[in-house]
C-alpha cells in the first residue's frame, strides 16, 4: 500500500479542495435547503469513477446508488453515507461562515465537514486513488448516499424494500467515525436507537394577560410537571416500563469498555463541565454512556423569552425530547409506554407526537468484516484502534443491517472535538487524508481476506 499512500499524500490538496467544494454546498434536510444541488454534485463525482449513478426518488430526498465491479468479483464492500447536514443555528456562534469551509489551524470548518461529507468523500476518494494507481478496484464496491439521515432516515427502509439486491454485500462501511485527536481510530460496531418526540400542551386559544394565571392552567407548568415524572434527581428514567427491555451488558461488552481510552478530564474541559452526572467516573461512566438509554430534553418552547419583562401567560408550550434506546428497546414499544405513563398521571391533555424512530443495532464483533477493519487501523494510524460495541449515538443501521442480516462497521474521518451538530463543526485535514488511506486499506485487505 506504500505506493498508494504516497499517491494519496501527493494529491491531498486536490482532495481537500473537493471537500471544500462539497462543504460550500449547503444540504440541510430539516430545512430543505440545497439538497438537489448536493445530490447533483455527488452524481458528478461518482460518474468520474466510471459508475452509472442511479438517483432513486423516494417520498423525500433522493438516495444515490452506484456500483463498481472489482477484481475479486466474489467479494463486495458497501459504503453507506449521507449527504444531508444538520441546520447551522445558532449561526452567531460560528467563528466563520458555516458554509464558507474556511481552512485554519489545520482544520476545515463547515457544517457537514465531519458529519458526513468528510467520511463520504474519504471513501469515494479512496476508490478514485486506487483506480488511478492500480486500475480496477480490488473488490466490488457499492455506494449508497442518503439525503435524510439527519431527519431520521424516513425513506431508507423503503429503499431497502425496493432494492434488496443493492443491499447485498459482504461488509457495510457505515457512515463514519472519529478518533481522539492524534490518538487511536475509533471503530464502532453498533449504535443506540432513537425515539424523537414532541410533547405539546395547549391550554388556551392564545397567549393571555398573566393575571389570568390565577384561573387558567399554564401549559409550561403542565409540561414541567409531566417531565418531572419522567426522570428522577439521580438521572434514572422513570417512565413506566421504559427500562424493562434493557439488558445487562455481556462479559464481552464490559471487557470492551476496559480497553477504551476515554479521557475524562479532557472531555470535561472540552465540554466546559465540572463533572459528569452523579459524579460518575471510570467504567460506570462508560457503561452509562455507551450501554444505557437516555431521555433528553432537546428543546422547550413557551411564552416570552425576549428582553425585559413581559407579563404574559402562554397559551401553548412544546417540548422536544430525544430518547436514545439500547437493545432490546424499540421505538414501537417505548412510544405507547410514554403515552400510558402520562395518562396514568393525569396528563392526558398532553399530546405525544412521534417525529422519528430508529431501533438500536449491534453487529457481530466476530464477523470477517469487523475483524478486517480492526486489523487495518494500525498500518494507517500507527496505533491500535479502540473498538466500541455501540456508539453513544444513532444512525439508521437497523433498517438496512437487521433486515438483510448484514454486519456494519463504522469508522471515518472525524475527531472527538469535531462539534458535529453544533456550531463550528470541523474536520482535521490530516485525519481526512488518513481516512482516505484507511478506506483504501480496508478495500485491499477485505478483498484478500
Ligand atoms: Zn449527524
Residues 311-337 have a mean pLDDT of 97
Residues 266-291 have a mean pLDDT of 96
Whole-number Å distance, alpha carbon 144 to ligand 1 midpoint, is 16
Whole-number Å distance, alpha carbon 223 to ligand 1 midpoint, is 28
Whole-number Å distance, alpha carbon 288 to ligand 1 midpoint, is 21
Lowest mean pLDDT among 20-29, 231-240, 301-310, 388-397: 388-397
Q: How far apart are CA 26 and CA 85, in angstroms?
A: 8
Whole-number Å distance, alpha carbon 127 to ligand 1 midpoint, is 24
Long-range contacts of 255-259 (CB under 8 A, 24+ apart): 256/387, 256/388, 256/389, 257/283, 257/286, 257/287, 257/290, 258/283, 259/386, 259/387
Residues 331-357 have a mean pLDDT of 97
**Which parts of 72-218 fold into alpha helices (H)?**
119-134, 156-162, 164-167
Shared fold status for 2-191+360-448 and 193-246+292-358: no
Going by their DSSP bridges, the two strands 102-104 and 107-109 should be labelled as antiparallel
Whole-number Å distance, alpha carbon 115 to ligand 1 midpoint, is 5
Contact 194, 323 (CB under 8 A): yes
Please report, for residues 228, 260, 417, 420, the alpha-carbon distance to residue 266 in angstroms, rounded to integers and kept in the order given: 32, 14, 10, 17
For 371-400, the DSSP string reads HHHHHHHHHHHSSPPEEESS-SS--THIII
Give the fold, CATH level 3, of 193-246+292-358: Alpha-Beta Plaits (3.30.70)
Rg (CA), the chain: 23
- What digits encode the pLDDT tens for the residues 174-225? 999 999 888 899 999 999 999 999 999 999 999 999 999 999 999 999 999 9
Q: Quick one: which of 263, 7, 238 has its CA closest to 129?
A: 7
Q: What percent of the chain has pLDDT over 70?
A: 100
Whole-number Å distance, alpha carbon 270 to ligand 1 midpoint, is 19
For 214-234, the DSSP string reads GTS--HHHHHHHHHHTTB-TT
Q: Residue 287: how many CB atoms within 10 A of its CB? A: 16
- What digits encode the pLDDT tens for the residues 401-440? 887 788 899 999 999 889 999 999 999 999 999 999 999 9
Place 366 in a pLDDT band, splitting at 50, 70 and 90: confident
What CATH architecture applies to the domain 2-191+360-448? 3-Layer(aba) Sandwich (3.40)
Phi, psi torsion values for 184, nearest 5 degrees? -70, 150
pLDDT score at 268: 96
Residues 370-398 have a mean pLDDT of 92
pLDDT score at 341: 98
Place 442 in a pLDDT band, splitting at 50, 70 and 90: very high
pLDDT score at 292: 97
Q: What percent of the chain has pLDDT over 90?
A: 89
Q: How far apart are CA 13 and CA 3, in angstroms?
A: 18
Contact 335, 354 (CB under 8 A): yes
Provide the angle, in degrees to the nearest 10, between the axes of the packed helices 12-24 and 119-134: 140
pLDDT score at 273: 97
Mean pLDDT, the chain, rounded, equals 95
pLDDT score at 404: 76
Q: Could you list which residues have their CB under 5 Å from ion ligand 1?
A: 115
Whole-number Å distance, alpha carbon 182 to ligand 1 midpoint, is 22
- Is the pLDDT confidence value at 48 over 90? yes
Whole-number Å distance, alpha carbon 397 to ligand 1 midpoint, is 13
Whole-number Å distance, alpha carbon 348 to ligand 1 midpoint, is 33
Whole-number Å distance, alpha carbon 417 to ligand 1 midpoint, is 14
Residues 68-97 have a mean pLDDT of 97
Whole-number Å distance, alpha carbon 210 to ligand 1 midpoint, is 40
Residues 143-154 have a mean pLDDT of 93
144 vs 251: which has the higher pLDDT: 144
Whole-number Å distance, alpha carbon 16 to ligand 1 midpoint, is 21
Q: Quick one: which of 289, 371, 363 has its CA closest to 324?
A: 289
Whole-number Å distance, alpha carbon 321 to ligand 1 midpoint, is 17
Place 382 in a pLDDT band, splitting at 50, 70 and 90: very high
pLDDT score at 200: 98
Q: What are the domain boundaries of the chain?
A: 2-191+360-448, 193-246+292-358
How many residues in the chain? Answer: 449
Q: Quick one: which of 446, 445, 194 has its CA closest to 335?
A: 194
Grid cell locating 418: 469535531
Whole-number Å distance, alpha carbon 116 to ligand 1 midpoint, is 7
pLDDT score at 209: 98
Place 328 in a pLDDT band, splitting at 50, 70 and 90: very high
Highest mean pLDDT among 45-59, 148-162, 255-269, 395-409: 45-59
Whole-number Å distance, alpha carbon 123 to ligand 1 midpoint, is 18
- What digits encode the pLDDT tens for the residues 100-148? 999 999 999 999 999 999 999 999 999 999 999 999 999 999 999 999 9
Whole-number Å distance, alpha carbon 138 to ligand 1 midpoint, is 30
Whole-number Å distance, alpha carbon 150 to ligand 1 midpoint, is 5
Place 255 in a pLDDT band, splitting at 50, 70 and 90: confident
Whole-number Å distance, alpha carbon 171 to ligand 1 midpoint, is 22
Grid cell locating 272: 466546559
pLDDT score at 416: 84
Amino acid at each position: 500500500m506504500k505506493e498508494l499512500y504516497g499517491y494519496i499524500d501527493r494529491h491531498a490538496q486536490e482532495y481537500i479542495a473537493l471537500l471544500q467544494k462539497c462543504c460550500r454546498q449547503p444540504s440541510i434536510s430539516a430545512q430543505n435547503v440545497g439538497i438537489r444541488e448536493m445530490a447533483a454534485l455527488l452524481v458528478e463525482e461518482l460518474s468520474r469513477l466510471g459508475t452509472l449513478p442511479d438517483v432513486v426518488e423516494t417520498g423525500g430526498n433522493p438516495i444515490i446508488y452506484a456500483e463498481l465491479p472489482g477484481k475479486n468479483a466474489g467479494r463486495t464492500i458497501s459504503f453507506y453515507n449521507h449527504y444531508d447536514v444538520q441546520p447551522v443555528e445558532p449561526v452567531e456562534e460560528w467563528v466563520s461562515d458555516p458554509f464558507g469551509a474556511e481552512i485554519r489551524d489545520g482544520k476545515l470548518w463547515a457544517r457537514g465537514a465531519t458529519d458526513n461529507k468528510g467520511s463520504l468523500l474519504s471513501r469515494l476518494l479512496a476508490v478514485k486513488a486506487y483506480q488511478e494507481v492500480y486500475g480496477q478496484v480490488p473488490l466490488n464496491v457499492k455506494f449508497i448516499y442518503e439525503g435524510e439521515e439527519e431527519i431520521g432516515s424516513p425513506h431508507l427502509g423503503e429503499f431497502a424494500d425496493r432494492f434488496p439486491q443493492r443491499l447485498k454485500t459482504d461488509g457495510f462501511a457505515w457512515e463514519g467515525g472519529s478518533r481522539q485527536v492524534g490518538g487511536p481510530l475509533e471503530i464502532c460496531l453498533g449504535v443506540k436507537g432513537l425515539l424523537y418526540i414532541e410533547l405539546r400542551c395547549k391550554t388556551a386559544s392564545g397567549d393571555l394577560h398573566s393575571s389570568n394565571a390565577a384561573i387558567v392552567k399554564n401549559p409550561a407548568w403542565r409540561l414541567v410537571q409531566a417531565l418531572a415524572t419522567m426522570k428522577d434527581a439521580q438521572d434514572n428514567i422513570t417512565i413506566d416500563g421504559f427500562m424493562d427491555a434493557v439488558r445487562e451488558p455481556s462479559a464481552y461488552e464490559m471487557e470492551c469498555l476496559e480497553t477504551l481510552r476515554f479521557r475524562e478530564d479532557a472531555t470535561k474541559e472540552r465540554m466546559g463541565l465540572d463533572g459528569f452526572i452523579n459524579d460518575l467516573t471510570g467504567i460506570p461512566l462508560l457503561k452509562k454512556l455507551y450501554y444505557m438509554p437516555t431521555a433528553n430534553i432537546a428543546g422547550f418552547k413557551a411564552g416570552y423569552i425576549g428582553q425585559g419583562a413581559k407579563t404574559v401567560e402562554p397559551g401553548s408550550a412544546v417540548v422536544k425530547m430525544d430518547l436514545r434506546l439500547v437493545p432490546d428497546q424499540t421505538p414501537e414499544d417505548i412510544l405507547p409506554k410514554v403515552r400510558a405513563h402520562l395518562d396514568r398521571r393525569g396528563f392526558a391533555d398532553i399530546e405525544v407526537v412521534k417525529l422519528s424512530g430508529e431501533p438500536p443495532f449491534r453487529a457481530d464483533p466476530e464477523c470477517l468484516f469487523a475483524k478486517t477493519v480492526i486489523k487495518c487501523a494500525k498500518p494507517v494510524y500507527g496505533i491500535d484502534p479502540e473498538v466500541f460495541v455501540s456508539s453513544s449515538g444513532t444512525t439508521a443501521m437497523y433498517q438496512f443491517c437487521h433486515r438483510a442480516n448484514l454486519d456494519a462497521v463504522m469508522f471515518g474521518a472525524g475527531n472527538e472535538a469535531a462539534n458535529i451538530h453544533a456550531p463550528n463543526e470541523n474536520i482535521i485535514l490530516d485525519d481526512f487524508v488518513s481516512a482516505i488511506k484507511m478506506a483504501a486499506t480496508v478495500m485491499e485487505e477485505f478483498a484478500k481476506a
